Structure 1
Amino acid sequence: MSRSENMSRIRGKDTQPEFKVRRALWAAGLRYRLHDRSLAGNPDLVFPGRRAVVFVHGCFWHCHEGCSNFRIPKTRSEWWAAKLARNKERDAKVRSELEAAGWSVLVIWECEVADSVRLDELMHELKLLPHKL
């Protein structure tokens, strides 16, 4: 299978890590909206009453530094480095836009999804955020 064929099969939403996070949050009694296009960056999970959003980032696509799942491919390295740098810049811009609009932004990485302790921490962070008055 060629690289382009392989990369074309990678989805941008409804990924397995995202489903795991969604199941854990739903089981904890937290209700959310999915992929709100009216917000910058189309967050994966939106908690309107808490003014909080959650992004479930893939370690490769969002340059998770120090993660074993992130390394730049050996073929066309310069192109991949530039593309992934643009992704990282866009993530920072989206985060600052959301925070400036009064939203709390939480990021959970693909490699953290398997860690049930991290998912518990995320649920506690979301429950601590104030409800809309």
Structure 2
Amino acid sequence: MKEIVIVIGDRMGKGQKVAAGIESVAGCKAVVVPGMAADMKLGDVMQKENADLGISFCGSGGAGALTAKNKYGYEVRYGMRSVEEGETAIAEGCKVLGFGFMDTEELGRRIATAYVKKYGNQ
């Protein structure tokens, strides 16, 4: 069973609660990019970690996600304000999710669960 790697980049250097939610799902590992403006490094860390999914958090919900798309060509959805929008984006094949500030365990757990539901732990 392959471990699913999900990278978190938060403009304010947070993401620990989302990471806890991700890691509560069997077979999922969270990587939190450290420091301020971590969202802007999301694509780079996804490449380094060979990540399956990336989550970007900033005020607009777009900067880090769009940077990852422009630099690496990831399919993205940004400007999201609810967990349900993120679940839908995964179902539609997005690999980078851009949210406003939402550092919650529920978001991490539900996003990881949606990924496992769509792709499994191959």
- What TM-score does the superposition give when structure 2 sets the normalisation length? 0.45
Return the TM-score normalized by structure 1. Answer: 0.42
Which protein has the bigger strand share? Answer: 2
